[in-house]
Structure 1
């Protein structure tokens, strides 16, 4: 039952509306079950000649009133349930997105975008259909059967004939027990394969430019076709099982009708049953065929939705590895940052990404981090942001253990500009003002000017209102980096972390941006992570990392004086590269 907690809690919250809808559907079933009885009376009246013109008109009006009232009652009940189902869909998608926002980086590193989208689209839709059509059809089926059986008794049909006629239907519970788990298991495989297909489609569409550049369309097509074939195979396995189940149910209904014709027909010939009652019996049994089919549909639907609901529940039960403690501290400001014997290993990795890192970032100072690729520079930035949780006591901000600091406080006071800054598919101004929705155009222009983006924006016909393509593809690589940098500056953070965020700009542009940063960030704490020494040489202190360890530290001049050190070696290599460029 725990898997259905999300569903049952929603139904409990809206129990009055669900109860109203169920009552309306029940009344519509009672209403519809009067039809065969009326037809039986008309048949008997026509046979014995007791039904005249006025009687025919009277019964016609009664049948019309039954049909109209049935349509109104069932329509209102179904509309209420469908509306509740759509509201559940809306609420659940909101919960899933909220959960995505809470979950930590390590969760997303294990999941593809396509699989995450599958939760929002396929799984939620499947559950919504179950609580919409499922409730409607279950109520309709159960109470239609009850109403029909009750009306058959009222009509005067012998109990023995009713029992014999509905006898084949007793097999239904055993069919449910056999087919239900098998359909559920195959439904789970379908949902998982759909998630894989969605992930593949997202990847292939996102990388279509690379595919075209390398003329690898055929390879991309084959990769996507493989995932589609997997979905097709899984769906066919499900269809074979569910189709067999749904085919047996109408067969049992037809068998029930055959039995009633044989036994009921004989009883009518022997005058143990009136012709009108026999006609009513056949109509009632015919009316039972629909509910039987609905029972099959509902069971299949519930098995599929059960698999989807299980996936959604697993997602919502995920606990973020990085989260606030009950007594999280709200920092008033970011002072000195002390890193003391920091060791860190990524989840699932065997080797340390950082080992015995110790240094202090003084408030208002600029610190540069430099080193080869994979030396742990970006890892340190992620630990300062608590994207990953550092060991307790290894990082202290303003004297407080960073693991005790509120995530919201920490991240609001830190501006982070990565190498590949994500831009949204809105206009340039909206992207720059992402962290400050109240910013005016003058502030936006100022941030763009500091990032040396203003001249580029002015070349666009619509200026700051230029709409960006997906992930900012309207802009060049250097323009995207500068737009991301402008967004970071717009935040005016107490600590600004630039993670190789000028790698796509030329050295002249970089020099201009650094000059603006020195003026703008005067007296503010800044960490610059870079591969190019030109990006960090103005820093108060430069930390040189290699294979997760600090191998050198000091100012640019102090590090250059150690000609056999890694820093001086990197500088010479970069200078030679510039001379050959």
Structure 2
């Protein structure tokens, strides 16, 4: 888990969540069995077998002992062949299980959409196909597994046959007494268990190796964004500055941010607006250091952001993403996630700041109401306000609202913005939005298009320029007036 928490979005774009869950559960279980039962069996069976062989050779006959274990190299060869097949088949079975996990996760998360589009039968069919695939591949593993026991029994029988035959010959040659031959066969019978144990050991170890290979692929993935060797210590971010900053995603062929120039002093509010896909969230991700830095300068208090530790940089920020991530806990626990040490007084104040008091009174158990998986028990607006409360209770130096007011009405939006302006007048706030009303008060507003700043200034300056910002503002104001008339 520690390794996964260090990974950037690039890693999760390349790895399915269900498969990662399978690696963190089934594969770890297979490895733990190998490390526990496997190692114990290896030591136990090896010592026991060597002791018996030494006793047979030293006290009875080295000649008969060596002849009797002629089948052992054959067993070693066959078990090795079976082991390689087990490795291959088990890897395939685990991959199939990971795919099944991912499918179940998607189906449960998207159950509302599946029902809305009447795709239950189709989803059941796909689940059935994946289940059959997992079953079929595990049967293939079981088939190889079933070869171990008969193979070992046949080879043990051959050892018995050779031991009796050659032992009888030595008795006739008077090189061995009848009593020694009987004792030899007793010892030979004692070798059956370690032979079976070694066969099972190979089986377990190959499964463990297959799981280790899968897990190693995850653990060997290097961090895209890492702490500097000697991070610069800073108290508070006095200003943020971007100078000729350019960035593109690893999977992109074009620049997603192009020659961005910004300067934001502590205590100021920055509004970022633009069309969908213009680069608003991409710019925010650079501040959060979710991806390796691009070219140009991104400075915090005059120091390149990559020279600060990740813990410090992210510790400065309170982030409310577009997709509101809530944990399957109570409303209270979700809010306090931003600051577990907050007092009850702090909690009540933040609820008012996030304009959540009225909704809270409507919830069946108030703050103790469970929000369900990803907040499924709440409306979109309620989830957004809980997310905002979680960020505000942290009292961050830099508050980032990434289109975080889209699910609330204009009146509630204004109330939240006014509360934030009043309580955070000495701290930095960054707001990305499609609603111009959310950034009217901002000290500086930038308009993005295709990753470039095409307009910037205060609200008044952008209105006077009569560009894209002006057009959108007029349209939205007209729509707001029309809605108000209809509501009356």
Which TM-score applies when normalising by structure 2? 0.92
Secondary structure, counterpart of 1:367 in structure 2: strand
Secondary structure, counterpart of 1:474 in structure 2: coil
Give the whole-Å Cα distance in 2 for the aligned partners of 1:250 and 1:197: 37
Does structure 2 conserve the Cα–Cα contact (< 8 Å) formed by 1:418 and 1:498?
Answer: yes
1:218 CA displacement: 1.5
Alignment of 1:85-96 (within 5 A): none
Match of 2:469 in 1: 567
Match of 1:182 in 2: 85
Match for residue 64 of structure 2 among 136, 161, 164: 161
1:442 CA displacement: 1.2
Give the whole-Å Cα distance in 2 for the aligned partners of 1:450 and 1:543: 26
Match of 1:238 in 2: 141
- Cα deviation digits, residues 42-91 of structure 1 (max 9, x gap): xxxxxxxxxxxxxxxxxxxxxxxxxxxxxxxxxxxxxxxxxxxxxxxxxx
1:229 CA displacement: 3.1
Give the whole-Å Cα distance in 2 for the aligned partners of 1:334 and 1:407: 14
Deviates more, 1:226-235 or 1:304-313: 226-235
Give the whole-Å Cα distance in 2 for the aligned partners of 1:338 and 1:146: 71
Match for residue 410 of structure 1 among 313, 329, 332: 313
Give the whole-Å Cα distance in 1 for the aligned partners of 2:171 and 2:478: 107
Does structure 2 conserve the Cα–Cα contact (< 8 Å) formed by 1:204 and 1:224?
Answer: no
Match of 1:394 in 2: 297
1:296 CA displacement: 1.3
Give the whole-Å Cα distance in 2 for the aligned partners of 1:388 and 1:159: 67
1:466 CA displacement: 2.0
- Cα deviation digits, residues 400-436 of structure 1 (max 9, x gap): 1112122111111111111222111222112111132
1:377 CA displacement: 0.3
Match of 2:49 in 1: 145
Match of 1:251 in 2: 154
Match of 1:448 in 2: 351
Match of 1:110 in 2: 14
Deviates more, 1:242-251 or 1:353-362: 242-251
Match of 1:338 in 2: 241
Does structure 2 conserve the Cα–Cα contact (< 8 Å) formed by 1:115 and 1:199?
Answer: yes
1:159 CA displacement: 3.8
Aligned residues: 483
Give structure 1 stretches of 5+ with no counterpart.
1-96
Is 2:217 aligned against 1:286?
no
Is 2:12 aligned against 1:123?
no
- Cα deviation digits, residues 121-176 of structure 1 (max 9, x gap): 1221111111111112212222222222233346x544443333322223123224
Secondary structure, counterpart of 1:360 in structure 2: strand
Does structure 1 conserve the Cα–Cα contact (< 8 Å) formed by 2:243 and 2:262?
Answer: yes
Query: Which of structures 1 and 2 has the bigger CA Rg?
Result: 1
Give the whole-Å Cα distance in 1 for the aligned partners of 2:295 and 2:465: 35
Does structure 1 conserve the Cα–Cα contact (< 8 Å) formed by 2:7 and 2:223?
Answer: yes
1:382 CA displacement: 0.5
Does structure 2 conserve the Cα–Cα contact (< 8 Å) formed by 1:188 and 1:307?
Answer: yes
Deviates more, 1:531-540 or 1:156-165: 156-165
Does structure 1 conserve the Cα–Cα contact (< 8 Å) formed by 2:247 and 2:295?
Answer: no
Does structure 1 conserve the Cα–Cα contact (< 8 Å) formed by 2:248 and 2:294?
Answer: no
Match of 1:22 in 2: none
Secondary structure, counterpart of 1:396 in structure 2: strand
Does structure 2 conserve the Cα–Cα contact (< 8 Å) formed by 1:250 and 1:292?
Answer: no
1:208 CA displacement: 2.1
1:506 CA displacement: 1.2
What is the aligned-residue RMSD (CA, Å)?
2.3
Give the whole-Å Cα distance in 2 for the aligned partners of 1:389 and 1:160: 68
Change (3 A) 1:266 1:114: same
Does structure 2 conserve the Cα–Cα contact (< 8 Å) formed by 1:392 and 1:403?
Answer: no
- Cα deviation digits, residues 369-419 of structure 1 (max 9, x gap): 111110000011110111123235421111111121221111111111112
Secondary structure, counterpart of 1:123 in structure 2: helix
Give the whole-Å Cα distance in 2 for the aligned partners of 1:217 and 1:289: 54
Secondary structure, counterpart of 1:394 in structure 2: strand
Is 2:276 aligned against 1:378?
no
Change (3 A) 1:519 1:147: same
- Cα deviation digits, residues 528-566 of structure 1 (max 9, x gap): 100111111111221111121111112222222233x11
Give the whole-Å Cα distance in 2 for the aligned partners of 1:419 and 1:103: 20
Deviates more, 1:469-478 or 1:495-504: 469-478
1:215 CA displacement: 2.2
Give the whole-Å Cα distance in 2 for the aligned partners of 1:206 and 1:366: 36
Give the whole-Å Cα distance in 2 for the aligned partners of 1:274 and 1:459: 94
Alignment of 1:264-279 (within 5 A): 264=167, 277-279=180-182
